[in-house]
């Protein structure tokens, strides 16, 4: 679906490279491949072995970086970040990598995910004298590292990481090394790659493909990986907990050409579409998917049901990201600018519209309306995930429970509100089984909290939702 017109947003993408003379350029291309994970800000920090050099700004990757800026970023190590700015957390000071200079050595951090105990830790740190410069929970990690009582720098980082709760997939850069860490539940994807002798890290494997690197392996939950002139060493900062990767990475966020733990995202989405067609049989003339993330599931639905797949909706790729739509009227107009129905495909047809999720329901209502205005005689909405009934505390901006349509309405009430002729969601079991993870010793390998309300970590009383991420 279109990130611009919905309230379900990923927070970040992380990339890093160590041991390549074109580190900044490769990071730039890696961030390009991760652009779908955040469009509000981008940054790169490089090291030449002596100093860390940052370039960052608000906007898209190609708006923030120019060839001239990249050419000045010499060095063989770099980390980068793309960011989705949450309300209360926007502003250049929050664009990552966050860079911290001190006489004992500098460090830069790129972080994907949301800490559930950030406020708790921040209160504690402030009582010890820390002064925070940003509203990002990532800054907590830097303060914990600097304040750790350990002598050895690597032990300081490990000690700091062990105090964090929630979701964190991190790349940390110092003058002399790059460090990689993933939270003990493995809530976010993070992979290691190789390009010649250089080591890479990325939120998604599509970032390796774009720079010609090979995928080596996924980072394991609780791992702490050190990359420096000696090569790569793998240690741990925590024992792994039950694996709980974010299910929405498969359903919606990740690029279809990425693999998460060996499972291709497009292929998994197709299986979800096939399973939907097994769970609900609908008499219709044509199947269409909401671009881009629902196309794979729509193809799967079509294959299983035998109803032809057609491009019933087209995404206008050149609508400005910053288009401001203050009124309801203008918002309606905005959707028409971003999505267009193909009249010749849907006119006079009974249409099955496959989408990946429903958050508030406003987008679904607009799309159903678009299809009906274009002549569809019936619009059946089928969703390739279960109803989202609970907020996400791990870095996905799913709004509060009050705004989630499925938290407050039955499926029939939702159908009525979006104006569809029928509305069907995929079952939790159907989703999990068809993504197809096999995690020994784990119930299913997934976080399902937004569907089931069972959170894989403790939730603290002062845990903030991503869009409320403003320290008080
Ligand atoms: S609550 Fe939902 S969106 Fe958040 S990490 Fe879990 S599965 Fe992903």
The predicted structure's pLDDT at residue 69: 93
Separation in Å, CA 323 to CA 126, 140, 287, 320, 466 = 39, 33, 30, 5, 22
**Closest residue CA from atom 8 of ligand 1:** 246
12 noted as active-site residue: yes
The predicted structure's pLDDT at residue 323: 42
The predicted structure's pLDDT at residue 36: 92
Closest ligand 1 atom to the C-alpha of 188?
A: 5
* Across 280-306, average pLDDT: 96
Q: Band of the pLDDT at 346, cuts 50, 70, 90?
A: very high
> Which residue numbers belong to the known binding site for [4Fe-4S] cluster?
246, 392, 447, 450
Indicate whether 469 pLDDT > 80: no
The predicted structure's pLDDT at residue 443: 79
Q: Which of 183, 241, 248, 444 to mutate to test the pocket of ligand 1 (most atoms within 8 A of CB)?
A: 248
Quote the ligand 1 centre to 264 CA distance (angstroms).
19
**Closest residue CA from atom 2 of ligand 1:** 450
Closest ligand 1 atom to the C-alpha of 446?
A: 7
Question: Which residue among 12, 170, 206, 444 is the active-site one?
Answer: 12
Q: Which carries the bigger pLDDT value, residue 333 or residue 420?
A: 420
Indicate whether 76 pLDDT > 70: yes
User: What residue ranges line ligand 1, CB within 6 angstroms?
Assistant: 187, 246-248, 392, 394, 396, 447-450
| CA-based nearest residue to 245, from 445, 396, 434 | 445
> Which residue numbers belong to the known binding site?
246, 293, 355-356, 392, 447, 450
The predicted structure's pLDDT at residue 470: 41
Lookup: tokens for 220: 């394991």
Q: Which of 253, 447, 448 to mutate to test the pocket of ligand 1 (most atoms within 8 A of CB)?
A: 447
Quote the ligand 1 centre to 395 CA distance (angstroms).
8
Chain segment 197-254, per-residue pLDDT in tens: 999 999 999 999 999 999 999 999 999 999 999 999 999 999 999 999 999 999 999 9
Residue 299, classed as helix, strand or coil, is helix
The predicted structure's pLDDT at residue 326: 41
* Across 424-452, average pLDDT: 93
> Which residue numbers belong to the known binding site for Mg(2+)?
293, 355-356
Residues pairing with 341 in the sheet: 313
Quote the ligand 1 centre to 40 CA distance (angstroms).
21
**Closest residue CA from atom 4 of ligand 1:** 392
Closest ligand 1 atom to the C-alpha of 249?
A: 8
The predicted structure's pLDDT at residue 5: 36
Q: Which of 359, 396, 465 to mutate to test the pocket of ligand 1 (most atoms within 8 A of CB)?
A: 396
The predicted structure's pLDDT at residue 347: 98
Lookup: tokens for 27: 């990071």
Kindly report the number of other CB atoms within 10 A of residue 306's CB atom: 8
**Closest residue CA from atom 5 of ligand 1:** 246
The predicted structure's pLDDT at residue 2: 36
Lookup: tokens for 25: 């350029």
* Across 8-33, average pLDDT: 91
Quote the ligand 1 centre to 176 CA distance (angstroms).
35
CB within 8 A of 124, min separation 6: which ones?
none
Q: Which helix (H) or strand (E) holds 144?
A: helix 138-147
Question: What average pLDDT does the chain have?
Answer: 90
Quote the ligand 1 centre to 248 CA distance (angstroms).
6
Chain segment 289-298, per-residue pLDDT in tens: 999 889 999 9
Kindly report the number of other CB atoms within 10 A of residue 279's CB atom: 14
Indicate whether 6 pLDDT > 50: no
Q: Band of the pLDDT at 29, cuts 50, 70, 90?
A: very high
Separation in Å, CA 354 to CA 43, 52, 236, 292, 359 = 35, 47, 42, 11, 15
Percent of the chain with pLDDT over 90: 75
CA distance 176 to 161: 19
Quote the ligand 1 centre to 450 CA distance (angstroms).
5
Chain segment 264-275, per-residue pLDDT in tens: 999 999 999 999
Write the DSSP assignment of 330-389 as a string of letters: HHHHHHHHHEEE-HHHHTT-EEEEEES--SSSHHHHHHHHHHHHTT-SEEEEEESS----
């Amino acid at each position: 679906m279109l990130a611009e017109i919905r309230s379900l947003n990923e927070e970040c993408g992380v990339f890093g490279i160590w041991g390549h003379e074109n580190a900044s350029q490769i990071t730039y291309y890696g961030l390009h491949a991760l652009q779908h994970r955040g469009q509000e800000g981008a940054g790169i920090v490089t090291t030449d072995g002596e100093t860390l050099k940052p370039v960052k700004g608000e906007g898209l990757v190609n708006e923030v970086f120019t060839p001239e800026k990249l050419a000045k970023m010499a060095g063989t190590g770099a980390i980068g970040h793309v960011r989705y700015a949450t309300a209360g957390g926007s502003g250049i000071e929050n664009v990552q990598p966050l860079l911290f200079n001190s006489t004992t050595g500098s460090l830069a951090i790129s972080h994907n995910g949301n800490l559930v105990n950030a406020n708790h830790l921040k209160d504690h740190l402030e009582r010890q004298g820390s002064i925070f410069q940003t509203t990002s929970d990532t800054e907590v990690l830097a303060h914990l590292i600097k304040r750790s009582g350990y002598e050895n720098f690597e032990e300081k980082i490990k000690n700091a990481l062990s105090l964090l709760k929630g979701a964190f997939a991190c790349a940390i850069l110092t003058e002399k090394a790059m460090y990689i860490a993933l939270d003990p539940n493995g809530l976010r994807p993070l992979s290691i790659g190789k390009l010649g002798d250089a080591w890479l890290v990325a939120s998604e494997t599509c970032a390796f493909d774009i720079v010609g690197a090979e995928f080596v392996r996924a980072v394991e939950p609780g791992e702490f990986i050190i990359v420096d002139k000696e090569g790569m060493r793998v240690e741990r900062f925590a024992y792994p907990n039950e694996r709980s990767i974010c299910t929405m990475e498969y359903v919606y966020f990740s690029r279809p050409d990425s693999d998460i733990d060996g499972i291709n995202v497009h292929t998994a989405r197709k299986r979800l579409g096939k399973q939907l067609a097994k769970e609900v049989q609908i008499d219709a003339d044509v199947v269409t998917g909401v671009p881009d993330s629902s196309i794979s599931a729509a193809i799967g639905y079509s294959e299983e049901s035998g109803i032809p797949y057609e491009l019933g909706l087209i995404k206008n790729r050149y609508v400005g990201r910053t288009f401001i739509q203050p009124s309801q009227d203008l918002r309606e107009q905005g959707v028409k600018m971003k999505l267009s129905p193909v009249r010749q495909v849907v006119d006079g047809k009974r249409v099955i519209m496959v989408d990946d999720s429903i958050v508030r329901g406003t987008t679904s209502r607009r799309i159903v309306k678009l299809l009906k205005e274009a002549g569809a005689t019936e619009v059946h909405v089928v969703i390739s995930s279960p109803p989202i009934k609970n907020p996400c505390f791990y870095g996905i901006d799913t709004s509060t429970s009050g705004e989630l349509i499925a938290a407050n309405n039955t499926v029939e009430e939702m159908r009525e509100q979006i104006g569809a002729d029928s509305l069907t969601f995929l079952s939790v079991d159907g989703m999990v089984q068809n993504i197809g993870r096999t995690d020994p010793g784990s119930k299913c390998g997934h976080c399902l909290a937004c569907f089931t309300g069972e959170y894989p970590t403790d939730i603290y009383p002062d845990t903030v939702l991503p869009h409320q991420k403003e320290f008080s």
